[in-house]
A and B are shown apart, each in its own frame.
Chain A
Amino acid sequence: DQQVKQNSPSLSVQEGRISILNCDYTNSMFDYFLWYKKYPAEGPTFLISISSIKDKNEDGRFTVFLNKSAKHLSLHIVPSQPGDSAVYFCAALNNAGNMLTFGGGTRLMVKP
C-alpha cells in the first residue's frame, strides 16, 4: 500500500514556464514533507521541505505548497530551466522517527 503517491510519472515543460509536480499521501501521521531531485547515477539531492504547521515554503525558484485537508502537496519551479531536468521525489516523515517514505518519482523534462 503506497502511502505517498506521485501520480504523474513524467512531465514536460518549456524553459521559462512553471513546472508543477504533485504528490498525495494517505498517512495522517506524516507531519514533515521533503522534495528531492535525482540525476541518473547520483543520490537524491535535498531541495526543499515543509512542516505540517505551514501551508507554503519558498526558496528561490522553488515553492512547496501543502494542503493538509486534501493530503496533497505540490512543488512549483518558476522559471523552469533545462538544468532542472531530473527525477523529483516527494518524501514524508512522521514523528515516530527518521524514516523517509518516498513517492515513486516524477521525471521532469525542461525543453530549451
Chain B
Amino acid sequence: KAGVTQTPRYLIKTRGQQVTLSCSPISGHRSVSWYQQTPGQGLQFLFEYFSETQRNKGNFPGRFSGRQFSNSRSEMNVSTLELGDSALYLCASSLGVNRGRTDTQYFGPGTRLTVL
C-alpha cells in the first residue's frame, strides 16, 4: 500500500508570493491533517480536513488555508509569504472515522518551504 505522498518536496519562494502544497493520502483514508515544523515552534497543527470539510483548525493566521477534494487529496495554500513561514510542512492521513482513538495518523515526507 502506498504511503502518504507530498509534492513538491522542496520549494523556494520570495516574500509576498503565495504557494500551494499538495498531499495525497493513503488509499481509503478520508482525513488529512497539516502540520508545520520549525526549529523554534516545533510541530504545530494547522488544520484537518475530512470529507472535503475543514473539521479542526489550529492557531494560524488566515493566510494559511486548505481544501480537500472528493478523492481525499488535499492542498494547502499560504498567501503573502513571510520569512517566518519557512518550515517543513507535513501532512498526515488517517481513516478519520474514529476521531483519533485508534485512528493513527500517518505522515508524508513533508515539503520544505524556504522563503527568501
Contact = CB atoms under 8 A, between A and B. Distances in A.
Interface of A: 32, 34, 36, 41-46, 49, 51, 89, 91, 93, 95, 97-105
B42 A102 contact: yes
Contacts of B44: 102
Contacts of A99: 33, 45, 48, 56, 58
A46 B100 contact: no
B45 A101 contact: yes
A45 to B, nearest CB: 7
Nearest to B56: A97
Given A93-B100, A102-B35, 11 more contacts: A36-B107, A41-B109, A45-B107, A46-B104, A97-B56, A97-B99, A98-B31, A98-B48, A98-B50, A100-B35, A105-B42
B101 A51 contact: yes
Interface of B: 4, 31, 33, 35, 42-45, 48, 50, 55-56, 58, 90, 92, 94, 96, 99-101, 103-110
Contacts of A34: 104
Q: Determine the main DSSP class of B at the interface with A.
A: strand
Given A45-B107, A97-B55, A32 B43 contact: no
A93 B56 CA distance: 13
B45 A32 contact: no
A42 B109 contact: yes
The 7 closest A-B pairs by CB, nearest first: A43-B107, A102-B43, A97-B56, A93-B100, A99-B45, A98-B100, A44-B107
